[in-house]
Chains A and B, each alone.
Chain A
Amino acid sequence: MDKPSCCSPAPDAAPVVLETKRLSVRAGERLLLREVNLRISARQVFGIIGPSGAGKSTLLKCLNRLTDLAPNLKVTGDVLYQGNSIYTGNVDVDHVRARIGMLFQQPVVFPQSIVQNVLFGARHLRPLSRREKHELAERALGEAALWHEVKDRLNEPALRLSVGQQQRLCLARALAVDPEIILMDEPTSALDPKSTDAIEELIHRLKELRTIVLVTHNIAQARRVTDWLACVCVRDGGGIVAETACCDTMLTSPQCREVAEYLEHAAP
């Protein structure tokens, strides 16, 4: 789990895959996020830290328009995926979400078998033959480091798995769709240390091919797995990105007073 030293790969070397431009979110009258500008480079782990309730999860959900499902949220500004806005009228939102997957805080397992859960998204994107289904399930479960634990009981109910296994199953389900970006919303906060290690190890492996945006409130985890960090803080009642920097720089010498205060209180 060796992490290369600060700012590698250099932020300008890798192309930017996801970018927010003056992204603001309102819930009715209340401003949740104000004018967020982020640039997220390919094949990096981009961490989002900050105090509870500052809007980290909301920011994450804006990145694949899951905010659409909450009718009271109003998003202004823009998010560019590979240079194209995902908020203009004619964008295929479902296609965007297939390219930008999501892993939630609590594993969301459907009351079906393990293999049905893995293929839940993929089988809706294109028709799969019996063999393709098997190969895809094996590949996705393998990539999520779960294959060896479940290969003999693929048809058992997924709810029988431990919470840690369920979370890896959810990751396998997202990977089966072959997303370019995976958004993770505190994916280990419900897990025991061993499962947490497994997920963190996976994040390291996954970033060889994919980009990961990770919300975490665990500073040690941010130090272990992220390359770049954005810190979301509350200012004047609304969430703002107070500082963006390479992981080591922010954690050792934050420039912004709010970030310094947050790190001081949150440090383990």
Chain B
Amino acid sequence: MRRTADKLFTCLAVGAALLAALPLVLIVSAIVWRGLPAVDWRFLTGQVMQVGAAGGVFYNLIGTLILVLTALLVSAPLAVGAALTLGVYLKPGGRAQRWFGLLVYTLNGVPSILFGLFGLIVFVKFFGWGKSWLAGGILLGLMILPTVTVALWERIQSLPRRYIEAAAGLGLTPTQIVWSVILPQSVNGLVTGSLLGLARAAGETAPIMFTATIFAGATWPTGIKESPVLSLPYHIFILAQDSFDPAAGAKIWGAALVLLALVFLLSLLALPARLKIHEEAHHG
């Protein structure tokens, strides 16, 4: 009887896992199935033509890469500062650390559309930038900041104390300990967190739709003010919503596949660093 109950429970658990994986498999296979015919070299290197019904997504890809790279440059230094504050400078378990930690987790829960509205008010209107790649990059950077911070913070927390004691015992100042012990040994967390964060940022539409990206007519940005870029998620969003041209259909799937490939690539790059963390965790 108990045997049967055990088996039943195992079946239920595996069934739930399969059910959870099913949508992912369906989405990925649908995108690959329908997107692959649309994607060729000319699609990757061509410009948008006929309101998206023809041409390629070259500048959309470039725009998304520019946004993602800016987000990286914005989030990395802020995350290093925040993670060091949480993991090194604030007293562990103290009130300040608890509050600041809560703040970081709360920032993680802020809906992305609110980042978009914040950017609209601050960068587009108040700074008078209009739509600008820099505004989008900064917003995406802020959006992924919690992911990067927490990944780095956890890594710093798991550093063996004996390293810090040994360095302090040699007469290193706290700043020297940060630069020669804590950061070199936790840089994995920064890399992993950044890549996972960027994989998410690359697909976001809400933070950039009012602030950084337009549907057509932009190439390389030339300045900051009134300097929007094209982007893949916004391209998909507009085509899916507004296009009645059946020819645009294939192009949507193609753009989706390119975006998916980019996100997959970023996640894949994070893999070696993540595996290394697991390995170290097992070897104490």
Chain A residues, Cβ within 8 Å of B163: 108, 110
Is there contact, CB below 8 Å, between B170 and A121? yes
Nearest A residue to B94 via CB reads A71
Chain B residues, Cβ within 8 Å of A174: 169-170
Known interface pairs A121-B172, A177-B170. Does A108 touch B165 (Cβ–Cβ under 8 Å)? yes
Known interface pairs A66-B165, A71-B92. Does A110 touch B181 (Cβ–Cβ under 8 Å)? yes
Question: A4-12, A18-26, A99-107: which one contacts chain B?
Answer: A99-107
Is there contact, CB below 8 Å, between A120 and B180? yes
Is there contact, CB below 8 Å, between B170 and A97? yes
Is there contact, CB below 8 Å, between B168 and A71? no
Is there contact, CB below 8 Å, between A69 and B170? no
Known interface pairs A98-B170, A110-B181. Does A69 touch B164 (Cβ–Cβ under 8 Å)? yes
Chain B residues, Cβ within 8 Å of A96: 171
Is there contact, CB below 8 Å, between A104 and B165? yes
Nearest A residue to B162 via CB reads A108
Bound Cα distance A32, B245 (Å): 80
Nearest B residue to A105 via CB reads B162
Question: Within residues 69 to 102 of chain A, which ones have a CB less than 8 A from any CB in chain B?
Answer: 69, 71, 94-99, 101-102
Q: Is A170 in contact with chain B by the CB < 8 A criterion?
A: yes
Chain B residues, Cβ within 8 Å of A188: none
Nearest A residue to B93 via CB reads A71
Q: Is A125 in contact with chain B by the CB < 8 A criterion?
A: yes
Chain A residues, Cβ within 8 Å of B176: 124
Chain A residues, Cβ within 8 Å of B166: 102, 104, 108, 110, 170
Known interface pairs A69-B165, A104-B165. Does A124 touch B172 (Cβ–Cβ under 8 Å)? yes
Bound Cα distance A69, B185 (Å): 19
Is there contact, CB below 8 Å, between B168 and A97? yes
Q: Is A34 in contact with chain B by the CB < 8 A criterion?
A: no
Q: Is A226 in contact with chain B by the CB < 8 A criterion?
A: no
Is there contact, CB below 8 Å, between A94 and B171? yes
Q: Is B173 in contact with chain A by the CB < 8 A criterion?
A: yes
Q: Is B167 in contact with chain A by the CB < 8 A criterion?
A: yes
Known interface pairs A66-B165, A69-B165, A108-B162. Does A101 touch B91 (Cβ–Cβ under 8 Å)? no
Bound Cα distance A104, B160 (Å): 14
Known interface pairs A71-B91, A97-B169. Does A124 touch B180 (Cβ–Cβ under 8 Å)? yes
Chain B residues, Cβ within 8 Å of A111: 185
Nearest A residue to B185 via CB reads A111
Per-position 1/0 for B149-170, Cβ under 8 A of A: 0000000000001111111111
Bound Cα distance A173, B173 (Å): 16
Nearest A residue to B166 via CB reads A108
Is there contact, CB below 8 Å, between B171 and A97? yes
Give 7 nearest A-B pairs by CB, closest first.
A98-B171, A121-B170, A102-B169, A108-B166, A97-B171, A108-B162, A94-B173
List residues of chain A with CB under 8 Å of any chain B CB.
Answer: 64, 66, 69, 71, 94-99, 101-102, 104, 106, 108, 110-111, 120-121, 124-125, 170, 173-174, 177
Other A-B pairs beyond A95-B171, A97-B169, A124-B173, 6, CB < 8 Å:
A94-B173, A99-B171, A110-B163, A111-B185, A173-B170, A177-B171
